[in-house]
Chains A and B, each alone.
Chain A
Amino acid sequence: GENVEQHPSTLSVQEGDSAVIKCTYSDSASNYFPWYKQELGKGPQLIIDIRSNVGEKKDQRIAVTLNKTAKHFSLHITETQPEDSAVYFCAASPSTGFQKLVFGTGTRLLVSP
């Protein structure tokens, strides 16, 4: 089955810096890769996703890149702000058939003012 590894487990940056979180996956059949943000005491919330027919996707300060050959995808946050502080999860699943998302272990991002 699918296995998703996520690095780093914690990331501290200064406000205004960029942050990059990386994930690798094992199942070449996976072709849907969402990213979730989880704030303290709340459930994860989808912030961006990418499908395997796309190499990069951007939404304001957030971007995700996908390298299917190497089986890795990354989340890029530019101009970080204190409100970006949260735990971020990557996930992977095949986009056909029943969705069985496999999540990474999470990255705690701390943005210091």
Chain B
Amino acid sequence: DAGITQSPRHKVTETGTPVTLRCHQTENHRYMYWYRQDPGHGLRLIHYSYGVKDTDKGEVSDGYSVSRSKTEDFLLTLESATSSQTSVYFCAISRGQGDSPLHFGNGTRLTVT
């Protein structure tokens, strides 16, 4: 899986609690992404990073923040989880931009009760 590890793989949390998901890569790729996958919506981009400490918002960024302090790690934080954030979250990496292929991790299934 292109050297991408997501942790945890599964998490159940309560509404209003903070949650942090981690993505770790061993490929030294510059670009990293967080997507969420929901039935009927496909994959939607939450945030992305184009370098250490360089991040930007995607299509569905409200309620999420990210940080990238090292090339290999990209963290996704839900400051105060809501039931609408119950989803499967995927991290992806790419070597370049434009038509450079995305490589995905195996996902984190998050349930907010």
> B42 contacts A103, CB within 8 Å?
yes
**Residues in B neighbouring A43, C-beta threshold 8 A:** 1, 4, 90, 92, 104-107
In angstroms, Cα B101 to Cα A55, docked, is 19
Number of B positions contacting A (CB below 8 A): 26
Kindly supply a per-residue 1/0 record for chain A positions 70-105, scoring 1 wherever the CB is within 8 Å of any chain B CB and 0 otherwise.
Answer: 000000000000000000010001111111110111
A-B contact count, CB below 8 Å? 64
Asked whether any CB of chain A lies closer than 8 Å to the CB of B62, the reply is no
In angstroms, Cα B94 to Cα A95, docked, is 13
Number of A positions contacting B (CB below 8 A): 27
* Interface members, chain B 80-103 (any A CB < 8 Å): 90, 92, 94, 97-103
With contact pairs A43-B1, A43-B104, A46-B103 given, residues A95 and B42 touching in the complex (Cβ less than 8 Å): no
Asked whether any CB of chain B lies closer than 8 Å to the CB of A42, the reply is yes
- Pick out which of these stretches binds chain A: B11-19, B43-51, B65-73: B43-51
**Which A positions have Cβ atoms within 8 angstroms of B?**
4, 6, 32, 34, 36, 41-46, 49, 51, 89, 93-101, 103-106
